[in-house]
């Protein structure tokens, strides 16, 4: 669905910056794709274009055969951090918000909001306001809110980066369960190789920028609950680590051409 996509940012200082070029990616329905790459390689740029927030400079972008012309209800985005919850609304009302905007009748939207809050493990917290909840809980409400819109595609840009290690592991497990239960497609950006291998059905590593594109795509064939100490898990880890390591070196040399090798 992304074919030969390019994004050039024009700069006020003069020289334009080609962030991505020749980016190809075909996502299957229901798959969980993790996108990895060095800082500044263009991951968020790709996600913003799929979300419809940014337009590609060249190339074709389609969702189920239709060109992506702008944001739409078929795609929902979860950003890093959790500032987008409305603090004057309760957890339940936050989850209901999109449904209310769409004119879904009260009893139906209540029921759905309860269902998705339950799915993210927040039954019992419905009446609390975001300021009364922990960072991990707020992040779950964000996810519940997005799920309530029943998007075809969930776009997540490092959604767990700000969480502590334990909460993060719990959230990863929850997300995998939710994904299995709902069958939506997920595009998930992360810096964390371990997180990618724990979650993905497929993962892709990008080249260091500029003019970045996918370097390699790996099928993650691990059945059932994923165990980080499993030999096959570690095998994937080593492989992906090697792929990223090379790009970190490239990025470092580009930033400091005269630096130590
Ligand atoms: N609006 C913009 N104008 C100019 N340059 C931009 C703009 N947005 C991004 N860039 C540049 O495009 C490149 C890719 O940025 P992007 O945010 O996609 O990186 P990223 O892979 O998400 O990095 P990180 O892992 O640090 O979040 C960077 O070099 C960045 O400076
Ligand atoms: Mg980013």
Q: Is the CB of 10 under 6 A from ligand 1?
A: no
Say what the pLDDT of residue 223 is. Answer: 81
- Ligand that lies nearest to the alpha carbon of residue 8, given by its number in the listed order: 1
> Which residue shows structure tokens 């078929």?
74
The protein residue with its alpha carbon nearest to ligand 1, atom 30, reads 40
Which residue lies with its CA nearest to atom 3 of ligand 1? 9
The residues whose Cβ lies within 5 A of ligand 2, an ion, are 44
For the chain, 261 residues long, the average pLDDT of each consecutive 10-residue run is 88 85 92 95 94 93 91 86 83 93 93 90 92 88 87 91 83 87 92 94 94 95 84 95 93 77 55
CB 44 less than 6 A from any atom of ligand 1: yes
Q: Whose CA is closest to atom 4 on ligand 1? A: 9
User: From CA 20, how far away is CA 206, in angstroms rounded?
Assistant: 10
Q: Which residue minimizes the CA distance to atom 25 of ligand 1?
A: 39
Distance between Cα 98 and ligand 2 center (Å): 25
185 lines ligand 1 (CB under 6 A): no
Query: From the CB of 207, is ligand 1 less than 6 Å away?
Result: no
Structure tokens at 16: 């334009």
Cα–Cα distance for residue pair 104/150, rounded to 1 Å: 13
Instruction: Provide the 3-class DSSP secondary structure of residue 75.
Output: strand
Please identify, in words, the CATH class of the domain defined by 1-74+152-166+175-261: alpha beta
Please tell me if the CB atom of residue 41 comes closer than 6 angstroms to any atom of ligand 1. Answer: yes
Give the model's pLDDT for residue 259: 61
CA distance 40 to 201: 24
- Does any ligand 1 atom lie closer than 6 A to the CB of residue 94? no
Q: Which ligand is nearest to the CA of 46?
A: 1
Task: Report yes or no: 212 and 35 within 8 Å, Cβ to Cβ.
Answer: no
The ranges of the chain annotated as CATH 3.40.50.300 are: 1-74+152-166+175-261
As a whole number of angstroms, the distance between CA 208 and CA 245 comes to: 10
Single out the residue of 186, 77, 74 nearest to residue 142, CA to CA.
Answer: 77
């Amino acid at each position: 669905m992304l074919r030969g996509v390019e994004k050039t940012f024009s700069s006020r200082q003069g020289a334009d910056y080609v962030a991505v070029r020749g980016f190809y990616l075909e996502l299957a329905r229901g798959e969980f794709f993790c996108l990895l790459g060095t800082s500044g390689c263009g991951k968020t740029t790709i996600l913003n274009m799929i979300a419809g927030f940014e337009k590609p400079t060249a190339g074709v972008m389609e969702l189920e055969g239709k060109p992506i012309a702008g944001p739409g209800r078929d795609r929902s985005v979860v950003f890093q951090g959790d500032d987008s919850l409305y603090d004057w609304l309760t957890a339940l009302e936050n989850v209901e918000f999109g449904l209310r905007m769409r004119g879904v009748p009260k009893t139906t939207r209540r029921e759905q909001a309860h269902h998705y809050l339950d799915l993210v493990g927040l039954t019992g917290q419905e009446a609390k306001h975001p300021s009364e909840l922990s960072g991990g809980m707020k992040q779950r409400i964000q996810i519940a809110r997005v799920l309530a819109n029943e998007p075809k595609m969930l776009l997540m840009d490092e959604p767990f980066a700000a969480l502590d290690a334990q909460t993060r592991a719990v959230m990863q497990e929850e997300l995998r369960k939710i994904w299995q239960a709902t069958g939506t497609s997920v595009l998930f950006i992360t810096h964390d190789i371990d997180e990618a291998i724990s979650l993905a059905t497929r993962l892709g590593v990008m080249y260091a920028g500029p003019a970045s594109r996918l370097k390699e795509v790996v099928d993650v064939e691990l059945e059932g609950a994923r165990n980080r100490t499993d030999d096959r898990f570690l095998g994937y880890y080593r492989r992906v680590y090697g792929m990223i390591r090379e790009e970190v070196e490239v990025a470092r040399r580009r930033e400091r051409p005269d630096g130590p090798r």
